[in-house]
Amino acid sequence: MQITIQRPAQIGGQMTRISTHSTSIIIDLGHNLPSNDNKDALDNDSTIAELTQGCSAILYTHYHGDHIGLFHRVPDSIPQYIGPVAKQIVCRKYQQLCCLPEKECSAAFKHAFRTASNMKIFQAKQTLYFGDIAITPYFVSHSAYDSYMFLIEAEGKKILHTGDFRGHGYLSKGLEATLKYFVGQVDVLIIEGTMLARPEEKVRTEMELCQEATKQMNVHKYSFIHCSSTDIERLASFKNANNRIIPKRALITDAFQKDILDLFSRTAGKQSSCFDFGQVFTYNEHNQKLKEWMITNGFTMFVRATPKFHSYLDHLLPILPATETLFIYSMWNGYITNGSTQNTEYIRLQEHFANNKILHLHTSGHATAEVLRKVCNLTNPRLAIIPIHREKSTDFKSIGISPSLQEKIITQDYSMEGIDVILAPTSHTRQ
């Protein structure tokens, strides 16, 4: 068996290929994370055709671009799989992108929309079979909804690929039980290590974040929230904070975000009221009645860094009392601090609120060192631990696992018991 991992020592842009003598599958086909130097050597049709050649299926852990970003380049003959709600989110996102005024992009977005619409879906805990490879998805909590880890079984070996996950979300409760009762001991653990580079970062639970948001919303009648438009748990934290305020304040956004929230209410919202967003209103500057109600009772508005929201803010902020208006930025700080990861659009959005209270209130979508250690201990890998999705400078040993597990950490090419691990192949044609 061969396990080939592209770009293991960076966050994002991941691809893992698992091959037996007869069958190959790929887990994730991600683009490099957006940065000022956003070139991705894999981002062209011929390289992706070469990398995916002979592969029976591609399975995505979740819909973040650093895991799915190259899906539109995959030849139509290779089936691609994703979670059921994740598929709907990807389709809605590309439907939105197809409407952008930049005509030069529209053909590419239309192609991506068609490719996403043709994706197959898998269900949690239902095993898929490709040749002699069995692969079972297990639900995890992450800043993308409908995210999964995969248990791969082939040639008598068990491999767990965690994807991106965390232990401090509302949806993290099942993590330990899943590992104990469904996964058990594995031979190889392929595990994310995003948080290793940020040991000092404060990691609140979503519940704690919700409590802090409630406190702030209680003293600010008008709240504008900038968070990921598809992160169900974060959106729920702010929705739940909003719902605790009396008298009731409206939840306002645009048609795209409303569609996503309504989708969450129809799916996860049926399992738990935490994810039922209730009635969400679409902002329209010509709807005088809605505007009067918003100003009288207060409101919470989910915003994004797009021209439409800049226009909404230009229109709304001058008529709202500055001291009662709050802006919450709820994403990774790296997008607004200086450096290669800075997003100028995010900064522009925040600049609207120069006269208002600005609060940075966030918690990571990734597992802390403590949770990574727990996963290592629960799966007790017999042969190897392969850390991926991490900064190059980080040392996975720092999570504090036992010396015998530390010895199993692999950061360069290695062979054991019939498994060849190929990390960061120098040529993408190497198989």
- Where along the sequence are the contacts to Zn ion (CB under 5 A)? 64, 66, 164
Q: Within 13 Å and on the Cβ side, how many CA atoms surround 398? A: 14
Comparing CB distances to Zn ion, the nearer of 66 and 206 is 66
Comparing CB distances to Zn ion, the nearer of 66 and 146 is 66
* CB 197 to Zn ion: min, Å: 13
* CB 20 to Zn ion: min, Å: 27
Closest CA to 254 of 231, 228, 282, 227: 282
* CB 164 to Zn ion: min, Å: 4
Comparing CB distances to Zn ion, the nearer of 86 and 313 is 86
Q: Residue 410: what residue type?
A: I
328: enclosing H helix or E strand: strand 325-330
* CB 406 to Zn ion: min, Å: 24
Give residue 302's region: left, alpha or beta (phi > 0; psi -120 to 50): beta
Residue 42 burial by Cβ neighbours in a 10 Å radius (0-12, 13-18, 19+)? buried
> Token digits for 68?
């799915």
Comparing CB distances to Zn ion, the nearer of 133 and 260 is 260
* CB 11 to Zn ion: min, Å: 6
Q: Give the CA distances from residue 238 to residues 104, 147, 326, 353, in Å, rounded to whole numbers and listed in that order.
A: 36, 21, 13, 19
Comparing CB distances to Zn ion, the nearer of 66 and 233 is 66
* CB 46 to Zn ion: min, Å: 25
| Strands annotated E in 200-310 | 222-227, 250-253, 281-282, 299-303
Comparing CB distances to Zn ion, the nearer of 66 and 187 is 66
Comparing CB distances to Zn ion, the nearer of 64 and 226 is 64
Q: 43-55 burial string, b = 16+ CB within 10 Å, else e?
A: eeeebbeebbeeb
* CB 64 to Zn ion: min, Å: 4
Instruction: Quote the longest CA-to-CA distance of the chain.
Output: 70
Closest CA to 94 of 108, 83, 81: 108
* CB 327 to Zn ion: min, Å: 25
| Strands annotated E in 73-183 | 80-82, 120-121, 128-130, 133-140, 147-154, 157-161
Per DSSP, the three-state class of 76 is coil
What angle separates helix 232-243 from helix 206-219, to the nearest 10 degrees? 40
Comparing CB distances to Zn ion, the nearer of 231 and 259 is 231
Note whether 66 and 12 are within 8 A (CB): yes
Comparing CB distances to Zn ion, the nearer of 80 and 242 is 80
* CB 66 to Zn ion: min, Å: 4
